[in-house]
Amino acid sequence: MPESIETDVVIIGAGPVGLFAVFELGLLDLRAHLIDILDKPGGQCAELYPEKPIYDIPGWPVISGQELTDRLLEQIRPFDPVFHFNRMVERVDRRDDDGFRVVTDEGDEFSTKAVVIAAGGGSFQPKRPPIRGIEDYESGSVFYSVRRMADFEGQRIMIVGGGDSALDWTLNLAPRAERVTLVHRRPDFRGAPDSANKVRALAEAGEIDLLIGQVAALEGEAGMLSAATVKLVEGGEKRVEISRMLPFFGLTMKLGPLADWGIELRDNLIPVDTEKFETSEPGIFAIGDINWYPGKLKLILSGFHEAALMAQAAKRIVHPDEKVVFQYTTSSSNLQQKLGII
Amino acid sequence: MPKITFFTHEGKEFTVEAPVGSTVMEAAIRNSVPGIEAECGGACACATCHVYVDKAWQEKTGEPSPNEEDMLDFAFEVRPNSRLSCQIRLRDEFDGLIVRIPERQG
């Protein structure tokens, strides 16, 4: 059993609203750990539109998704948040002493007084490619990431896609597999030009097969693939015998395991009150795009407001005996000390 | 205002009006045309507003940009007339534009 990490608050989701929650909680002396399925902070801002301008952040006539993320990270640095990336929270269980036990798919365990769900549109998960019947093979033959190299040693692997993941795994697995076939819908690759050139060189040397087209059909039985048919752009079809498939079709947002945490949902959103932004489960809060209340607007600025009010309520749960005095960062020496200004 | 006609995969027809300067994706979402998801909200970052532009309109609407072509890698059954509808900005001469919605989005 891994050691449980003790904290005041676990924030699920390190998007802009989750990040700002660290600030509001920090001003009230609450320590936070953040868990995110991505490998970096910023959520949709970093994953979907890092370069795209945002025009409705107060005080910023224009700011990019990445810049906003960077600024928030700078703003919360005094509170020393701890990030846990590449993890999805699988369970949130209420403990007898009224706190929560939070468990991730990597087996980390947290012991916390309050949980803040700031999961935006849900967790980013690999997109299932548009191939009929692919779900039948997901238990044994089709993988969306390489977790254990051994699963691919000596196999006939079909890699599908044209980004860095597809190119990198083609290069990595080619020496270890019996055969690698890379399938992409066009001759140009999204991934790094250097990797693309290496892949083309391997194909020219006959070390791998490179097919330009789209996977049209799969064959196999009992959950194990035996062949795939590729519809070629130049015309015609090619049937390739395979035992593994690695499709890389990007990420999509799914609600994920939070549907099983006993929280009331409404159209895949979490209803909350507008005083504390608490869910149907006391001690579990929901802020940002994932929540719903009458008049809700899915704006980053709404999430910031929700984070501030949530923090007041979380404070009362974590430190029930402390009196909370409302203070301004501009004038409170106490808050300025916490921010490391004085 | 230009009129756009959407045909769903099942052959249902939706004709809607949308202002010049807005996108085909926005026209679909505002009018609740089924089959356009636009998960990323129009940032050319998700490929869930994929449409097939009617062959007669392909030249007018133009080719996808390199960035859009990259995102089309994530779409379902990409064809030569595939576009992301958030990247087709309406002009006066697009009045009568016809697009078809694929069987599914990503």
Each residue's pLDDT tens digit, A245-301: 999 988 888 888 998 999 999 989 999 999 999 999 999 999 999 999 999 999 999
The whole-number pLDDT of residue A39 equals 92
- What mean pLDDT comes out for the span A25-39? 96
Q: Distance (Å) from the C-alpha of residue B76 to the closest C-alpha of chain A?
A: 5
Let me know whether A202 and A260 are in one domain.
no
Position B67 scores a pLDDT of: 87
pLDDT at res. A23: 98
pLDDT-based confidence at residue A128 (cuts at 50, 70, 90)? confident
Domain ranges, residue A297: 4-124+252-338
- Which of A51-55, A261-265, B37-41 holds the top average pLDDT? A261-265
Residue A131: inside a domain: no
Rounded average pLDDT over A70-85: 97
- A258 within a domain of the structure (yes/no): yes
Residue A102 belongs to some domain of the structure: yes
- CATH numbers and ranges of domains, chain B: 3-100 (3.10.20.30)
Q: Name which of B46, B73, B106 is nearest A48 (Cβ-Cβ).
A: B46
A243 & A257 share domain: no
- Residue A22 near residue A32 (C-beta atoms within 8 A): yes
Mean pLDDT on B50-57: 96
| Predicted pLDDT of residue A277 | 98
End-to-end, the C-alpha distance of chain B in Å comes to 31
Same-domain check for residues A17 and A119: yes
- In this prediction, residues A136-148 reach a mean pLDDT of 91
pLDDT reading at B34 higher than 80: yes
Q: Are A212 and A194 part of one and the same domain? A: yes
CB contact under 8 A, A185 and B47: no
- Residue A202's contacts (CB-CB under 8 Å, 6 or more residues apart) are A170, A171, A174, A208
At residue B46, the pLDDT reads 85
Shared domain for A237 and A256, answered yes or no, is no
pLDDT recorded at residue B104: 86
Q: Please check whether residues A232 and A268 belong to one and the same domain.
A: no
Last residue of a domain, one of A223, A249, A275: A249
Across A50-54, A114-118, A176-180, B50-54, least confident range: A50-54
Indicate if A186 and A265 belong to the same structural domain. Answer: no
Domain final residue pick, A216, A249, A282: A249
Same domain membership, residue A237 and residue A194 = yes
A266 and A192 in a single domain? The answer is no
Q: Which of residues 231-260 of A touch B (CB under 8 A)?
A: 249-250, 252-253
Residue of A nearest to B66 (CA): A190
- Is residue A133 in some structural domain? no
For residue A73, give the CATH number of its domain: 3.50.50.60
Question: A33: which 2 tokens?
Answer: 């750990």
Distance CA(A207)–CA(A194), nearest Å, equals 18
pLDDT number for residue A193: 95
**DSSP β-ladder status, A4-12 and A109-117:** parallel
Mean pLDDT for the stretch of residues A45-64: 92
In-domain check, residue A135? no
Mean pLDDT estimate for chain A: 94
Predicted confidence at residue A2, as pLDDT, reads 66
Does A127 sit within 8 Å of B78, measured CB to CB? no
Q: What percent of chain A has pLDDT over 90?
A: 84
- ipTM reported for the complex, 2 dp: 0.77
Domain contains A138: no
Q: Coil, helix or strand for B6?
A: strand
Look up the pTM and report it: 0.82
Cβ separation A185–B73 shorter than 8 A: yes
Q: What is the pLDDT of residues B71-103, one digit of tens each?
A: 998 888 889 999 999 999 999 999 999 999 999
> Are the C-beta atoms of residues A202 and A208 closer than 8 Å to each other?
yes
Domain-embedded: residue A313: yes
* Overall number of domains in chain A: 2
Among residues A249, A274, A306, the one where a domain terminates is A249
Alpha helix segments (H runs only) across B7-101? 24-30, 58-61, 66-72
Tens of pLDDT, residues A196-243? 999 999 999 999 999 999 999 999 999 999 999 999 999 999 999 999
Q: Does residue A17 carry a pLDDT above 80?
A: yes
In a shared domain, residues A180 and A320: no
Chain B residues in contact with A44 (beta carbon < 8 A): 40
Tokens 């692997």 belong to which residue? A157
A132 assigned to some structural domain: no
For residues A63 and A8, state if they share a domain: yes
Nearest CA in chain A to B68: A190
Could you tell me which residues are beta bridge partners of residue B100? B7, B52
Is residue A237 located within the same domain as residue A273? no
- pLDDT for A1 equals 55
CA distance, residue A99 to nearest chain B CA (Å): 35
Say what the pLDDT of residue A329 is: 92
Instruction: Answer whether residue A49 shows pLDDT above 90.
Output: no
